[in-house]
Structure 1
Amino acid sequence: MYECFLEIAYEAELNTEEDPELSKLAQEQCNEDLHTRASVIRELREMIYERDECRPHRTDDEFLLRFLRSRDFVVPRAHKLVVRYCNFREEYPELYKGVDLWSLTKVKNVFEGSMYDRPDVGRLSIFRFGVWDPSEFSVEDLVRTGVMMSEIGIRQPKIQVLGCTVIVDLEGLTLRQVATLTPTVAYQIVNIMGVSAPGRLRSCHIINYSWILNTFIYLFKRFIPQRSWDRIHFHGYDLKSLHKQIDPQCLPARYGGTCRNHVTIGDWLEKIKKYRDERFDKEMKALGYIVKE
């Protein structure tokens, strides 16, 4: 029964249809008004054309809506995000251009997530940097996987509205792994977590760390906007502290939770490959990915 439910959840990952039931949540969380949405999208599109600060590969309603939702339907803020998104893609084409989409299953369990989306948490994503073996794949592949997750996830209206919560688990982190974190990599990670990506980061929780955290945070600190620091929480090894911020129903057993809809990025991407359609392939190829049969 559980396996059947999980398969339905996997298939739903590719659903890009607007759900009428999301309307109320979109209004509450994104300041979205169905009566004015079309005109606001037009306003954003006109601003993109008039200011000519970027050349996005798409300007259709569905694409622009994700930027408006991530910036509470404030057009100038959404426009700035579109510009940052385009500039980031132009600056780092190696993160997506010519990348074999399905090859990123090799990241396995370094990225994990709970497919149990709630208005108070959104989609929970977990980054387990300490379980990564640098001899198996590069840190650039970790960043490529983060970009891929962002691009695929944000296709869902549900994720656009609910946003995401991130746990950065540093259990087992060593200096060997930290040594791979150049300022460029740190900058890229901060950008795909919301600075230059059309996603709503609700909060970030850093857990299971030692003195190495100082080096880890130092690399990221200068790239994190000041306004974002109130959404970053440090819990150490204190799971009770984590539970005050995230309901255990959303957490896997490893963190004292009860959520069973917990998957690795490797398994998730395999299911995306299984259930994808022609439209998905077309969109990913337009972004620069290689999508093999």
Structure 2
Amino acid sequence: MTQLIISTPQWSKSEPDLADYENDVLKKQQALLKKELAKIAEQELRETEHSKQECLRQFKLWIAQNEDIRKCILDDSFLLRFLRVKKFSIPMAQQTLLKYLNYRKRFPHIFLEMDYSETKVNELISNGYIYVSPLRDNKGRRVVIYDLSKFDPKKHTGTDMARAHAITYETLISNEENQILGLTHVADISGVNASFLTLFSVTDFAVLIRWGEQSFPMRHKEIHILNMPQALKYVFDFAKTHMSQKLKERFMVHDSIQNLFEKLDPRCLPKEMDGGAISSKTMIQAWQNELDDKRKRLLAIDDIELLSDRGIICSKNKELMNQQQANLVGSFRKLEVD
């Protein structure tokens, strides 16, 4: 596997001006990415210019002939997210597109009208519950930062949470560099308590996780969990039963920030997490600018229609899945007791 090592400058203790920071750091990172991106795409995704163009041609032809899909976005960047996540296997990319559209159809309250300026979602982004560092890690990946202490279950719903995640991820995968390199996640979950269990039903929680991995064309490369409460291990174990083995192996649970820094360059994190000199406020401001740039793009996805799910190939028996969910309800109840 190709490693893209990006070094970030050691800022002084005072926070740099946002404009200087963007000019200095981001431009240097972009220059490095352009040199290495094609090499990484070929080695990890089997992507060459020829394979890309030929697969796009076949994919567009299939969409045009598919009676169940209407008004699909046909620009290369949108379609490449499905091809890249399946390493240019056209049948698998077709299935992922169908599942993606069905996922959105199954949860319209989450995926329709994905507007970051919506009051509830914007509150979660503005207060630092979820945002993306403008600095990439040393493998060139964008870093999604979560601080669950900033989420108040008495004020926000599970739908608010899911919409904030959906808008964040959809914005990120609209960028081709992120499609190729994948994403790094860092979640401080010290603020989680039993009241979070009221946010989702067991069934919806399981479906969101399982369908999300199968349907959302995003490459999760590293998932770092920090400060996990002991009681939350029940929910974590439940969630992992609905993940692929590959995704399970990308989770890393850290008992200290120092342990996290052995795996991740701290300079891509805000100074409030003992990271670099950039504050979370500055990072959030930069992320909101990105969200604004992509806002119309995200809203345009609503125009795509999936008339039927008959083309989706199901890999598991629904009855067995429902039985497994019923058996694991006790884990959630135990957490409530604890």
Question: How does the TM-score come out when normalised to structure 2?
Answer: 0.70
Conserved 8 A contact 2:270-2:276: yes
Letter in 1 for 2:152: D
In the TM superposition, 1:65-84 aligns within 5 A as 65-84=80-99
Question: How does the TM-score come out when normalised to structure 1?
Answer: 0.80
Letter in 2 for 1:133: D
What is the deviation of 1:173? 1.3
Whether 1:188 aligns to 2:203 is no
Letter in 1 for 2:123: K
Match of 2:151 in 1: 132
Letter in 1 for 2:181: L
Aligned equivalents of 2:199 and 2:99: distance in 1? 25
Match of 1:36 in 2: 51
| Residue of 19, 27, 35 corresponding to 1:4 | 19
Deviation larger for 173-182 or 248-257 = 248-257
Whether 1:117 aligns to 2:136 is yes
Whether 1:174 aligns to 2:230 is no
Q: Using a 3 Å threshold, how does the CA distance of structure 1 residues 58 and 179 change in structure 2: closer, same or farther?
A: same
Q: Using a 3 Å threshold, how does the CA distance of structure 1 residues 118 and 58 change in structure 2: closer, same or farther?
A: same
| Residue of 218, 234, 242 corresponding to 1:199 | 218
SS in 1 for 2:56: helix
Q: Using a 3 Å threshold, how does the CA distance of structure 1 residues 99 and 250 change in structure 2: closer, same or farther?
A: closer
What is the deviation of 1:229? 1.2
Q: Using a 3 Å threshold, how does the CA distance of structure 1 residues 116 and 259 change in structure 2: closer, same or farther?
A: farther
Match of 1:283 in 2: 297
Cα deviation, 1:261-291, whole Å, max 9, x if unaligned, reads 75588635542466x3xxx4542332239xx
Aligned equivalents of 2:297 and 2:132: distance in 1? 23
Q: Using a 3 Å threshold, how does the CA distance of structure 1 residues 71 and 135 change in structure 2: closer, same or farther?
A: same
| Residue of 266, 269, 277 corresponding to 1:248 | 266
Whether 1:162 aligns to 2:212 is no
Q: Using a 3 Å threshold, how does the CA distance of structure 1 residues 57 and 219 change in structure 2: closer, same or farther?
A: farther
Aligned equivalents of 1:263 and 1:80: distance in 2? 40
- Over the matched positions of the two proteins, sequence identity in percent amounts to 23
Aligned equivalents of 2:282 and 2:211: distance in 1? 22
Aligned equivalents of 2:61 and 2:18: distance in 1? 46
SS in 2 for 1:126: strand
Conserved 8 A contact 1:6-1:261: no
What is the deviation of 1:39? 0.4
User: Structure 1: 5+ residue runs without aligned partners?
Assistant: none
What is the deviation of 1:151? 1.5
Match of 1:91 in 2: 106
Deviation larger for 67-76 or 158-167 = 67-76
How many residues of Structure 1 are paired with residues of Structure 2 in the alignment? Answer: 279
Q: Using a 3 Å threshold, how does the CA distance of structure 1 residues 20 and 244 change in structure 2: closer, same or farther?
A: closer
What is the deviation of 1:82? 1.2
SS in 1 for 2:249: helix
What is the deviation of 1:42? 1.6
Match of 2:10 in 1: none
Q: Using a 3 Å threshold, how does the CA distance of structure 1 residues 182 and 7 change in structure 2: closer, same or farther?
A: farther
What is the deviation of 1:37? 1.4
What is the deviation of 1:118? 4.1
Considering only CA atoms, is the larger Rg found in Structure 1 or Structure 2? 2
